[in-house]
Structure 1
Amino acid sequence: MKKTFLFIFILSTVLICGCQPKMNLFPDGTDPLLEKTLQGEGSDKVLVISISGTISDQAKKGLFGAAPSLVQEVTSRLKLAEKDDQIKGLVLKINSPGGTVTASDILYNEIMRFKKKTGASVVVSMMDLAASGGYYVSLAADRIMAHPTSLTGSVGVIFVRPKVGGLLDKIGVSVEVSKSGRNKDMGFPFKADTNEQKKIINSIVGDYAARFHGLVRKHRSISESDLEKVFTAQIYSAAGAEKAGLIDGVGYLPDAVDMVCELAGIPENSKVITYKRKSYPNDTLYNSASSQVASPAVINIDTGNLLPPSAGFYYLWLPAAQ
């Protein structure tokens, strides 16, 4: 009975959507980004961009379509901002456990390119979490500020791959592989890695970790004794991160706006803007929902969030992975 009802509901939804004129109740990736003023006045502008969720360059898949990836959403705003010479400062509002190695590196590079091309000052405001890849992206900023209750750190890389060989043995199922080289099945979930393969994987992990560590050394003035602790990939509270030199201060989002105005040499009451696809009444700096594509939860569930991370290399704090 339940299956029949669900089938009728889905069929009815499809028929209604197909027969009725398009009603844009929710913004999607096809709606243009529009400039919205949040506060302030004058010709000088501070742009606020949210980086929220797991950092990936893969489209967010739903039951009835897909939405642009986080990398696409952030990069499209940076490209739009490059065309506006009145934007003197950028505040990145980050709430992310990190993401894939490549996607994190792309965002870092795009922010660095934006700074070089525009000369704008950039300040990060960490919210609940800016760990691993979230911190990696933060390193592109001129200053990093954390909310008093933020978590950050996790400066390291992890290689995620499921192993189900033991389970298959218990139920009497085997997987046979024909391969052209002895390491072709490295990381294969149905068998244990050989010692040689483990060394290869650890070497790659080391390479990606070294890149992360190098950026920390480049952008932060941290003593070797503190770096040794940071490179254990532990997580830090805001107070601990400030003491270790990972951030420049503890404060709130408005404090980050004040800081970027000071760095850019513009008035504190300068116009603060964001790019959105939909207007919200009485909007504020804290409205992350309108900063990225939103969809009706019943119809467009991000099915990727229902599954564990796929095999790959991540700058990611796993306990908060979405």
Structure 2
Amino acid sequence: MRRYYLILAGVLLATGCERFVVRTDNRVAFAGPVDTRVTTELPPVSPNAGPVRPVVVTPGSSVSRVALVDVDGLILNTPFAGFSSLGENPVALFRERLDAAEADPCVKAVVVRINSHGGGVAACIAMRRDLERFKSRCGKPVVAALLDTACGGAYYLASAADQVVATEGTVTGGVGVVLNLFNLQDLMAQFNVIPQSIKAGDKADIGSSARPIQPEEKQLLQAMADEFHGRLVADVRKSRPAARADVFDGRILTGTQAKAQGLVDQIGDLDHAVAVAAGLGCGDGFRPQVVMYRRANDPAHSVYAVTANVPLQGAGLLPNIPGLDRSKLPTFLSLWQPELTMEKLGGK
């Protein structure tokens, strides 16, 4: 730390009272009281920070690596960047990380670390297809590590892995499809908000929150939900032929229950999942490096490092009323949603 004191002292002498910027990943301390003002800036993760690059989070042999690809928070095919949001498109980022792992000749296996309630049906299908093509092209083994939560589309993605590892405390399953529609007609009337729609096509405004849904419209939407659900179930059963049929009704399970039902292969923590991947890709007893692919402004210091993934949030001035943010959400979702506004939550 002595050298940092010398550097800071030199900067203070050179700048006097002028504003200066110090960027460091280390602790900075002063021997005595300092009369100044400190401003910190935490830049959001942004695609403008350059391509993803490997960051070593667990030391080991540099000739062999296990790539850890993290999937956290709400899965939507939309960029999470801008005011009141943080992150980027999780679907695009997942593809970019897989491409980096495929291009890295030192990577012998991949761990997809998942901590997500799920997300949009189309987004989750796209990510699973990318993972399947990755496995087909390069033949590198893939292990899914389920952390706190891996439900709905998040488990659907995990099921494409060669091995699925969950902890005893994992909440998983929830393979279902939901379309949350809200009838806000009475609420709008209280504020004298009267819709005046002009439409061509009797069902052009199907699902509108400005009026009750009609029985025929409900049948149409139900048929769509059933089709999406059938697609998810068929893909999971293809990867998990031992899974019991009654677990596909949207129910959630613990990690141990999921193993008993054929949805999970092994019970263990993230380190165990990395060891399983190392055994598949490098052989037993070999300790490879563990790397995560991150942008320059998204550091990683451990296998639990999380890339922020927070979609657009309200400014906090208006009440959080379910249904007011429908325009920002996809239609059909595959996720465990114990509370209706869970759609707005992203990574931790």
Same fold (TM > 0.5) = yes
Per-residue CA deviations over 1:221-261 (Å, capped at 9, x if unaligned) read 235xx312x12211101111111111111101111011112
Structure 1 regions of 5+ residues with no counterpart? 1-19, 295-300
Question: SS state of the match for residue 157, structure 1?
Answer: coil
Looking at structure 1, the residues matched to 86 and 68 of structure 2 have their Cα atoms a distance apart, in angstroms, of 25
CA distance in 1, matches of 2:193, 2:84: 35
2-structure distance, mates of 1:135, 1:302? 21
Unaligned runs of 5+ in 2: 1-19, 24-40
Superposed counterparts of 1:264-279, under 5 Å? 264-266=281-283, 267-278=285-296
Q: Report matched runs for 1:204-215 at 5 Å.
A: 204-215=224-235
Given residue 259 of structure 2, which amino acid in structure 1 is its aligned partner? E
Give the SS at the match of 1:158: coil
Pick from 28, 31, 35 the counterpart of residue 46 of structure 2.
28
**CA distance change for structure 1 residues 257 and 311 in 2, over 3 Å: closer, same or farther?**
closer
More strand by share: 1
Aligned amino acid, residue 156 of structure 1: G
Q: Give 1:292-307 correspondences, 5 Å limit.
A: 292=307, 302-304=311-313
Tell me, in whole angstroms, the C-alpha distance in 2 between the residues paired with 1:208 and 1:131.
Answer: 16
Alignment of 1:112-261 (within 5 A): 112-170=132-190, 173-222=193-242, 226-228=244-246, 230-261=247-278
Select between 170-179 and 193-202 the one with higher mean Cα deviation: 170-179
Q: Per-residue deviation at 1:275?
A: 1.3
Q: Deviations over 1:260-305 (max 9, x none)?
A: 12222435301211112348999221222xxx368xxxxxx85347
Q: Does the CA-based 8 Å contact 1:71-1:107 persist in structure 2?
A: yes
Structure-1 residue corresponding to 2:279: 262
Q: 1:171 to 1:273 in 2, by over 3 A?
A: closer
The question of whether the paired residues in 2 share the 8 Å contact of 1:125 and 1:145 is answered with yes
Distance change (3 Å), C-alpha of 1:191 and 1:282: closer
- Deviation at residue 106 of structure 1 after TM alignment: 1.1
Q: Which has the larger radius of gyration?
A: 2
Q: CA deviation at 1:186?
A: 1.0
The 1:25–1:196 alpha-carbon spacing in structure 2 relative to 1, beyond 3 Å, is: closer
Q: Is contact 2:118-2:334 (8 Å) kept?
A: yes
Query: Partner of 2:303 in structure 1?
Result: 285
The equivalent of 2:130 in structure 1 is 110
**Cα distance change on mapping 1:69 and 1:318 into 2, 3 Å:** same
> 1:154 & 1:257 partners in 2: Cα distance?
25
- Aligned twin of 1:71: 91
Q: Decide which moves more: 64-73 or 84-93.
A: 64-73
Please state how far the C-alpha of 1:42 moved relative to its aligned partner.
Answer: 3.9
Return 84-93 or 195-204, whichever deviates more. 84-93
SS of residue paired to 1:61: coil
1:110-139 per-residue CA deviation (whole Å, 9 max, x = no partner) reads 111111111100001111100001101102
Q: State the superposition RMSD in angstroms.
A: 2.8
Q: Which amino acid is the alignment partner of residue 205 of structure 1?
A: A
Any idea what SS the aligned residue of 2:217 has?
Answer: helix
More deviation, 34-43/155-164? 34-43
Q: 1:302 and 1:185 mapped to 2: Cα distance?
A: 25
- TM-superposed CA distance for 1:58, in Å, is 0.8
Cα gap change, 1:241/1:198 in structure 2, threshold over 3 Å: closer, same or farther? same
Say if 1:29 and 1:293, in contact at 8 Å, map to a contact too: no
Is the CA contact 2:151–2:252 (under 8 Å) kept in the aligned structure 1? Answer: yes
CA distance in 2, matches of 1:187, 1:62: 28
> TM-score, normalised to structure 2's length?
0.76
Q: How many residues align?
A: 292
Distance change in 2, residues 1:69/1:280 (3 Å): closer
Tell me whether 1:312 sits opposite 2:331 in the alignment: yes
1:134-189: CA deviation from partner (whole Å, max 9, x where unpaired): 10110221010012211001111001222201323455543232322221121111
* Aligned equivalents of 1:265, 1:104: Cα separation in 2: 29
